[in-house]
Structure 1
Amino acid sequence: MEAKPEIREKYQQVISSILKENLVYIDESGIGIHMQG
């Protein structure tokens, strides 16, 4: 499943707004989340 760039950006914005204390990024593999701790 390949998401469109616009959808990827949308997910990034939504996830970033939800997980403000976490570092959220999107790479070629999809969505990756690095939790601080």
Structure 2
Amino acid sequence: VKTLEGQGVPLDQAEAITAAAITHQSKIKAKVQNSQ
């Protein structure tokens, strides 16, 4: 299993977390734009 250096997090898990964070941020940005 590939892991991030020094963190021991499987890359596929890290990528999933990153993708979820990006999706969450884009939703927040959309809400902000809609409210303006």
TM-score, normalised via structure 2 length: 0.47
Which has more strand, going by share of residues? 1
Higher relative contact order (CA 8 A, sep 6+): 1
| Bigger Rg, which one | 2
TM-score, normalised via structure 1 length: 0.46
